[in-house]
């Protein structure tokens, strides 16, 4: 406002000085292309308002033209001037007859506005008038320039205040913390929604120095970032951790240099530092990585991680021509621990085992958990050549086995477990990752076949064996479809010679290989989940036989046919339904079917076993314990089980005539059966002498080649018919008829 007052004052002075009483001054200021009224104290306000905002141009009165031409424009007589053609009516209406206009030019040579003198009659300026005008225009230009500047500054201040408010609003709503730090490390300004991410409360930090506030280990790297930001003059992005009020936080920091941050100390440089809390993101990233590459139970690398390490290892071996090894380790009978004690106990064992294994491997080696109870140990270097590698990896395998020497304590129980290991050497000749794993796995199965608790090296012959197994599996599937399986039947007779039952034994009538015995295909069928299908075939044949025998009226209610039940079937929930389905189809009673389970099957989770047996018993099925004497079943449970028969294993019957252990074992088993009040059956009886001896021990029944070999259903039927008329007596055993 001060400048406008000054301008008005200037005009009064010129109006006094100029030699014309009617002289009136007007100062217009130029904004863009328009002239605005600035000061004209003696000109009618209405006139001023009417010309306010006038667009400058080549014929726009004296002022519009002067500003346009950027040169002085003298109009001596408005009435006749072509420049005033459009405005003369207006001017003349207010008694204005002449107008001398001079542009006001800034020090930067910009047109700031115009200075005009109006006269009440046509008039030309004298030289003195012009000098006077120039003199006043000079002052006006200074005043106008100042006026413009002060307006600009005011606007700037308003703009600045507004942008400050915006900035504050932003920083308050953003979760990030914004710090302004001086080059010396002073907290110059702090913006943020809360104090939580700060080392201390804002009031305690502001204007303090990082080096005085933070521990040295944190202050030093922060100072280094400030230095780098200023040295490179560029944005820096980095991560750091700091123990702040909220806790231990991982931050993502971004810094940028700011110069002249403080007007009172413009030479001091500053850094704007934005800190973002990325703790949660970091944790999830870590978690994801862990899930992807580590086993969650044992924290060991998983298969994916193993594959990565293996491929790196293989590349290294290809370059260096050294030898490495991959060991596949599988816990023997782990399933038993799981089944008998529950999964959490199994998990405990695996965790303890992984600790023991980790403790004995070198740091450069990898221990990974690749499946339930399967571990892989990747040894980066086991020697320069195969011979050394063989020795080295065998030593490692023995070391791995040694961790099993000590019992595993789970809860209050102690378990002795063992493992099977397969070893595959890795060298430039054997470097296909898939093969290495497959070969080690095959070798591990070789150890299992040996009975577990051993290690085996991969041998290409093993691969052939495995391939043969796969071939066999495919052939079994085909054979089931082609109806090549059937049951054979072997009779059981009591000590007094009556036929009391028969055992169904499966046979494979192969179109090329001929008759195949069960031991050759049952394990494969079990392994590949085909056993239930085979069992259904056997059960079907059993039912047909029973129905035929019943139709002939040659069996009584006590006659039973035995069927062998595999461990995997016994464990399955569907066993009962499968059995019932078939026998109801044939209208056969469950009590006519005797389920033979082996003694080893009783050594697992005894409670589950009892429950499964009880359920089947409630449905009317009868149980016989097969291969008795060979397992390690807990005899105390025997009386708790719904068992109707003990079958003494053939291996003992084979030795029953040597007056040594064979005899006493059989005698003991028979006595045990008697004490439990269940019949004992001897299997594999081949000679009359064996039968004689067994009878002296009060055996209840026998089964074996002495009586008959397993026969086709129709052969059995004929045999049964032939022999049922007369009890099979000792004296005529040799004459047992084979029709």
Could you tell which of ligand C2E, Ca ion, none binds residue 710, using a CB distance below 5 to 8 A set by kind?
ligand C2E
Indicate the residue among 435 and 532 with the shorter CB distance to ligand C2E: 532
Applying CB under 5 A, among 348, 626, 645, 700 the residue interacting with Ca ion is 626
Minimum CB distance to Ca ion, residue 498 (Å): 20
CA 129, chain centre distance (Å): 93
Indicate the residue among 604 and 684 with the shorter CB distance to ligand C2E: 684
Q: How far apart are CA 88 and CA 79, in angstroms?
A: 6
- Ranges within 627-686 binding Ca ion (CB under 5 A): 627
Tell me: does residue 624 bind Ca ion (CB under 5 A): no
Give 177's contacts (C-beta < 8 A, 6+ positions apart): 190, 191, 192, 197, 198, 274, 275, 276
Given the structure tokens 């007094």, which residue do they identify?
Answer: 496
Indicate the residue among 564 and 609 with the shorter CB distance to ligand C2E: 564
Other Cβ atoms closer than 10 A to 512: 5
Minimum CB distance to ligand C2E, residue 548 (Å): 19
Q: How far apart are CA 574 and CA 536, in angstroms?
A: 12
> CB under 5 A: which stretch of 412-420, 437-445, 489-497, 623-631 binds Ca ion?
623-631
Residues of this chain that bind ligand C2E (CB under 6 A): 490, 505-506, 517-519, 522, 535, 538, 564, 566, 626-627, 683-686, 704-705, 710
Tell me: does residue 599 bind Ca ion (CB under 5 A): no
Could you tell which of Ca ion, ligand C2E, none binds residue 505, using a CB distance below 5 to 8 A set by kind?
ligand C2E
Indicate the residue among 78 and 648 with the shorter CB distance to Ca ion: 648
Question: How is 609-637 classified by DSSP, letter by letter?
Answer: HHHHHHHHHHTT-EEEEEEETSS---HHH
> CA separation (Å) from 713 to 48, 109, 460, 544?
130, 124, 42, 9
Bridge partners, 74 (sequence order): 100
Could you tell which of Ca ion, ligand C2E, none binds residue 326, using a CB distance below 5 to 8 A set by kind?
none
Minimum CB distance to Ca ion, residue 647 (Å): 6
Minimum CB distance to ligand C2E, residue 598 (Å): 7
Could you tell which of ligand C2E, Ca ion, none binds residue 183, using a CB distance below 5 to 8 A set by kind?
none
Minimum CB distance to ligand C2E, residue 537 (Å): 8
Minimum CB distance to ligand C2E, residue 560 (Å): 15
Residue 134, token pair as written in the block: 């120039």
Indicate the residue among 195 and 626 with the shorter CB distance to Ca ion: 626
Indicate the residue among 141 and 598 with the shorter CB distance to ligand C2E: 598
Minimum CB distance to Ca ion, residue 683 (Å): 5
Residue 127, token pair as written in the block: 């030289």
Other Cβ atoms closer than 10 A to 664: 12
Number of residues that bind Ca ion (CB under 5 A): 4
Minimum CB distance to ligand C2E, residue 564 (Å): 4
Pairing label, strands 419-426, 645-648: unpaired
Minimum CB distance to ligand C2E, residue 280 (Å): 56
Indicate the residue among 645 and 667 with the shorter CB distance to Ca ion: 645
> CB under 5 A: which stretch of 107-115, 160-168, 173-181, 564-572 binds Ca ion?
564-572
Q: How far apart are CA 294 and CA 308, in angstroms?
A: 12
To the nearest 10 degrees (0 to 180), the angle between helices 2-17 and 127-173 is 170
Minimum CB distance to ligand C2E, residue 706 (Å): 6
Residue 617, token pair as written in the block: 């018993």
Degrees, nearest 5: CA angle 423-426-427: 145
Applying CB under 5 A, among 140, 564, 566, 592 the residue interacting with Ca ion is 564
Sheet holding 270-277, edge to edge: 187-191, 177-182, 270-277, 247-258, 236-244
Degrees, nearest 5: CA angle 221-223-227: 115
Q: Using DSSP, state whether 657 is helix, strand or coil.
A: coil
Of the candidates 306, 404, 299, the one whose C-alpha atom is nearest the C-alpha of residue 351 is 299
Could you tell which of ligand C2E, Ca ion, none binds residue 519, using a CB distance below 5 to 8 A set by kind?
ligand C2E
Indicate the residue among 122 and 518 with the shorter CB distance to ligand C2E: 518
Applying CB under 5 A, among 277, 427, 596, 599 the residue interacting with Ca ion is 596
Q: Which residues bind Ca ion (CB under 5 A)?
A: 564, 596, 626-627
């Amino acid at each position: 406002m001060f400048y406008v007052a000054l301008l008005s004052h200037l005009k009064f002075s010129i109006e006094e000085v100029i030699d014309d009483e009617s002289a009136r001054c007007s100062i217009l200021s130029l904004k863009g292309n328009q002239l605005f009224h600035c000061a004209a104290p003696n000109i009618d306000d209405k006139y001023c308002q009417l010309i306010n905002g006038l667009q400058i141009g080549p014929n726009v009165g004296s002022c519009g033209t002067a500003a346009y031409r950027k040169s002085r424009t003298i109009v001596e007589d408005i009435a006749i001037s072509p420049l005033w053609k459009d405005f003369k009516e207006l001017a003349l209406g207010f008694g204005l007859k002449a107008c001398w206009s001079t542009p006001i030019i800034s020090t930067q040579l910009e047109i700031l506005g115009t200075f005009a003198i109006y006269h009440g009659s046509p008039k030309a300026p004298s030289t003195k008038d012009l000098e006077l005008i120039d003199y006043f225009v000079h002052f006006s230009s200074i005043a106008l320039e100042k006026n413009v500047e002060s307006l600009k500054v005011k606007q700037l201040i308003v703009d600045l205040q507004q942008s400050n408010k915006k900035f504050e609003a932003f920083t308050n709503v953003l979760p990030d913390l914004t710090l302004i730090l001086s080059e010396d490390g002073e907290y110059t300004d702090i913006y943020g929604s809360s104090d939580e991410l700060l080392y201390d409360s804002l009031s305690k930090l502001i204007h303090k120095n990082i080096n005085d506030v933070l521990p040295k280990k944190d202050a030093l790297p922060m100072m280094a970032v400030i230095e780098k930001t200023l040295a490179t003059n560029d944005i820096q992005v980095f991560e750091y951790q700091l123990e702040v009020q909220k806790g231990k936080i991982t931050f993502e920091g971004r810094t940028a240099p700011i110069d002249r941050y403080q007007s009172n100390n413009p030479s001091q440089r500053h850094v704007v530092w934005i800190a973002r809390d990325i703790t949660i993101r970091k944790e999830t990233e870590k978690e994801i990585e862990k899930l992807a590459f580590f086993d969650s139970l044992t924290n060991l690398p998983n298969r994916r991680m193993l594959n990565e390490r293996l491929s790196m290892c293989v590349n290294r071996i290809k370059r260096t021509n050294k030898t490495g090894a991959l060991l596949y380790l599988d816990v023997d009978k782990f399933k038993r621990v799981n089944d008998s004690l529950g999964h959490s106990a199994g998990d405990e064992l695996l965790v303890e085992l992984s600790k023991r294994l980790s403790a004995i491997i070198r740091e450069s080696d990898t221990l990974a958990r690749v499946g339930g109870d399967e571990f892989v140990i990747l040894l980066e270097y086991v020697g320069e050549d195969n011979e050394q590698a063989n020795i080295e990896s065998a030593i490692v395998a023995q070391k791995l086995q040694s961790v099993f020497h000590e019992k595993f304590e789970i809860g209050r129980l102690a378990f002795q477990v063992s493992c099977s290991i397969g070893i595959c050497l890795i060298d430039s000749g054997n470097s296909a990752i898939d093969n290495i794993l497959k070969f080690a796995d095959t070798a591990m199965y070789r150890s299992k076949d040996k009975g577990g608790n051993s290690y085996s090296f991969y041998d290409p012959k093993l691969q052939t064996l495995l391939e043969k197994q796969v071939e066999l599996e495919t052939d079994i599937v085909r054979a089931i479809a082609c109806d090549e399986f059937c049951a054979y039947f072997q009779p059981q007779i009591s000590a007094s010679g009556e036929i009391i039952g028969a055992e169904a034994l499966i046979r494979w009538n192969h179109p090329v290989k001929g008759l195949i015995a069960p031991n050759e295909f049952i394990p494969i069928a079990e392994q590949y989940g085909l056993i239930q299908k085979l069992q259904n075939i056997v059960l079907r044949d059993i039912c047909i036989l029973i129905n035929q025998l019943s139709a002939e009226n040659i069996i009584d209610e006590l006659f039973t046919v035995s069927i062998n039940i595999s461990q995997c079937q016994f464990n399955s929930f569907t066993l009962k339904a499968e059995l019932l389905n078939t026998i109801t189809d044939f209208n056969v009673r469950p009590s006519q079917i005797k389920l033979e389970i082996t003694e080893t099957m009783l050594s697992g989770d005894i409670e589950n076993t009892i429950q499964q047996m009880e359920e089947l018993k409630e449905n009317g099925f009868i149980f016989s314990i097969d291969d008795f004497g060979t397992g390690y079943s807990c005899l105390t449970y025997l009386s708790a089980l719904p068992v109707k028969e003990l079958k003494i294993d053939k291996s003992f019957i084979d030795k029953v005539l040597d007056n040594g252990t064979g005899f006493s074992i059989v005698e003991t088993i028979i006595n045990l059966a008697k004490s439990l009040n269940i019949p004992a059956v001897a299997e594999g009886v081949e000679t009359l002498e064996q039968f004689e001896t067994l009878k002296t021990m009060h055996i209840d029944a026998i089964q074996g080649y002495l009586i008959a070999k397993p026969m086709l259903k129709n052969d059995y039927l004929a045999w049964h018919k032939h022999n049922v008329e007369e009890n099979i007596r000792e004296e005529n055993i040799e004459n047992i008829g084979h029709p």
